[in-house]
Amino acid sequence: MFRLRTVKVRFGRTTALLLAASVVAGAALTGCANNDTTVSRAPDGPLPAEIPPGTKLVVADQQERVQTWLRASGELDKLPFTVEFANFVGGPAVLEAFRAGAADVAQVGDVPPIHALAAKQDVPIVAAYQSNPLAMKLAVAPGRSITRLADLKGKKIAYAEGTAQQAGVLRAVAKAGLKTSDVQLIRLQLSDFLDAVRTGQVDVAPLIEPNVTRLLRTPGASVLPDSEVTGIYGGLGYLYARRAVVQDPAKAAATRALVAAFIRAQQWSNLHQDEWARKYYIDSQKVSADDAKRIIDSLGVYTFPHLDQQLVDRQQATIDVIDDAGELPAKIRAADGFDLRFDQVVTQTVTEIGASFGTGTN
């Protein structure tokens, strides 16, 4: 049988920046032309499994995380289609890539798919993974006396719409019994959060590793206790794809294979934490061995929830948090943002490799 010879390409940082710039420019020129006005349903029937020669997926990556998972685990070389990676910073940039048709599949937190729905972009979730819900910390700038959520009143808080950190901030404010008008939400790029809180430009910023570790190297910096921030972060991450991708038989079959490979790669990192720490955090992200261990420990063991009604309900709860704060332009339904056909490959893969589906709760 003919076997497609795969070619794996990784964009460099400069190329990724140029691509991101061209994506934004293209979106500005095309306006609403590429913006779906309605959410379409997934095709009926099972996912196609046949991947014809010449099939290619462009994966929007963040901090080279997905490509390192796939490469380090050996899963990338097993994929019978061409994969290209483009590196972005934050869900909004990925969404622009989707809008311009410059990316097919992406790994994101739980909030970017919500803003995709709000923008009437049809990019359904095709896989989910769960990390430790306490991995997100509320970082406090040096010299600030903030030890409780109640201390957030009147404070400057770093805020990035379209990111998992957005929902974390809104949940923290609500848990403190405050309204968004009681704090100062400082809109920044996600990549600017660490420097903003480290230098005192904001009082508080939601950070995850490795930035938590980097912040705590700054004298006088701190994080709120876990007892205060429990429940503000879901720990959910997703793979999602453009609807045109999952409606195309060849690309849908390739996405199905990518989902299985992604789950196997994350399970490999569960079982090879020292090697994963070295290849990703130490070699790629340039943190020390001690810091890498701390990062791995903070994230815990990845689990892989079913794509089912329970997961849809969890996503709807996050939508409601953002909507209650007045941060969505219209009512949206979480159910419109999933392609539940992919649960079959999730279930099969998790079962075959002995991974866990998790508890399905925050």
Q: 28 pLDDT exceeds 80?
A: no
Task: Name the DSSP letter for residue 348.
Answer: H
Is the model's pLDDT at 34 over the cut of 90?
no
What is the average pLDDT across 170-179?
Answer: 96
Mean pLDDT of 345-351: 98
> Which strand (E) or helix (H) includes residue 82?
strand 82-88
Note the pLDDT of residue 242: 95
Q: Which of 8-17, 131-140, 337-346 has the lowest mean pLDDT?
A: 8-17
Contact indicator for 178, 155 with CB cutoff of 8 Å: no
Task: Please give the mean pLDDT across all residues of the chain.
Answer: 87
d(CA 63, CA 45): 35
pLDDT in tens, 282-292: 999 888 998 89
Choose among 177, 176, 178, 173: nearest CA to 158. Answer: 173
Full 3-state SS string of 195-211: HHHHCCCCCEEEECCCH
Pairing mode, if any, of strands 137-140 and 222-223? antiparallel
Q: What is the mean pLDDT of residues 25-43?
A: 38
Residue predicted with more confidence, 215 or 9: 215
Question: Cβ distance 269 to 296 under 8 Å?
Answer: no
Q: What is the rounded average pLDDT of the residues 173-187?
A: 97
Give the tens place of pLDDT for each residue, 85-144: 998 877 778 888 998 999 999 998 899 899 899 999 999 999 999 999 999 999 999 999
pLDDT in tens, 36-64: 333 444 455 789 999 999 999 999 998 89
Task: Specify the pLDDT at position 73.
Answer: 98
- Altogether, the residues listed in the chain come to a count of 362
Query: How is 130-143 classified by DSSP, letter by letter?
Result: E--TT--EEEE-TT
On the question of pLDDT at 7 being above 90, the answer is no
What does the pLDDT read at residue 44?
59
**E strands present in the chain:** 8-10, 56-62, 82-88, 105-109, 125-130, 137-140, 156-159, 184-187, 204-207, 222-223, 236-241
Angle, alpha carbons 334-40-348 (nearest 5°): 65
Place 360 in a pLDDT band, splitting at 50, 70 and 90. Answer: low
Angle at 154 between CA 149 and CA 155, to 5 degrees: 70
Do the beta carbons of residue 59 and residue 108 sit within 8 Å?
no
Q: What is the mean pLDDT of residues 229-255?
A: 96
Rounded to whole angstroms, the Cα distance separating 146 from 165 reads 19
pLDDT tens digits, 247-281 = 999 999 999 999 999 999 999 999 999 999 999 99
Instruction: Enumerate residues 6+ apart whose C-beta is below 8 A from 335.
Output: 312, 316
